[in-house]
Amino acid sequence: MSDRFAGKAVVIIGGNSGIGLAAAKGFAAEGAKVVITGRSQATLDSAAAEIGHGAIAIRSDIGNVDEITRLFADLGPRLGSIDVLFVNAGIGAFKPIEAVTEADWDQLHDVNLKGVFFTVQKALPYLKSGSSIILTGSIGALKGIPAGSVYSASKAGLRALGRSFAAELVGRGIRVNVVSPGPTDTPIIGRTAGLPAAAIPMLRKQMIENTPMKRMGSPQEIAATVLFLASNESSFVTGVDLLVDGGAASF
């Protein structure tokens, strides 16, 4: 195992399961001081124990700007600076157009788009030249998905944020990139709003059939891409949306 992140401070928003947890384990194993956030204290405590290496777990809701503000007001002085900010938290929801309510729209965009913007804004004072920001997008920003209009709109907005952040922060020496997973075997599939539990196996089957590689990705495969984008190996990479999707959005 390398020590690419020895002495680095890494903050992962949404690091208590799935891709975020896999990335946290990877960063910690390569020497980073890791902080994870999430909305469930129980899963945070469990994740921190899995990560080891002195990982810090803090309960915080990315959908609440006041909580984001408090998070970085606490973390900034404790860490001094942040070398890697991985904004991974997000929710999924699939409803036909007629069924979407204003509350549905607001809840999803509060987490997937507004929360991402204000997380970067509040973290910015602690990001120095050489820092890296990675945002978790989705191939939903590129493809038309039946019943996925609200989710896809939020991820398309996030993709635009990534490009604009990169353009605005390049002069400060801060790189910003988006990683967009395709079908990935994470717990979020079972928590997708608008889908009954009985529909989940069929959803998984359909995802696999629609992926050229005929399988789902693993959280570890997405995490490996995140670590690449955070490392000096990608020092000349900024503003990209890197698809990790088994070809699902390309052919």
User: Is there a catalytic annotation at residue 126?
Assistant: no
Looking at residues 164-170, what average pLDDT do you find?
98
Q: Which of 72, 151, 243, 244 is catalytic?
A: 151
User: From CA 214, how far away is CA 63, in angstroms rounded?
Assistant: 34
Class of domain 9-242 (CATH, top level): alpha beta
- 150: phi then psi, degrees, rounded to nearest 5: -70, -45
Query: Do residues 133 and 237 touch, judged by C-beta distance below 8 A?
Result: no
Query: Do residues 115 and 136 touch, judged by C-beta distance below 8 A?
Result: no
- The top-scoring range by mean pLDDT among 121-125, 145-149, 198-202 is 121-125
The predicted-structure confidence for 201-234, as pLDDT tens digits, reads as follows 888 888 899 999 999 999 999 999 999 999 999 9
pLDDT for residue 195: 63
The full length of the chain comes to 251
Identify which of 241, 234, 183, 190 has the alpha carbon closest to the alpha carbon of residue 208: 183
Sheet arrangement for strand 82-87: 56-59, 33-38, 9-13, 82-87, 127-136, 175-181, 241-244
The predicted-structure confidence for 35-54, as pLDDT tens digits, reads as follows 999 999 999 999 999 999 99
The predicted-structure confidence for 74-93, as pLDDT tens digits, reads as follows 999 999 999 999 999 999 88
Residue boundaries of the structural domains of the chain:
9-242
User: From CA 29, how far away is CA 52, in angstroms rounded?
Assistant: 9
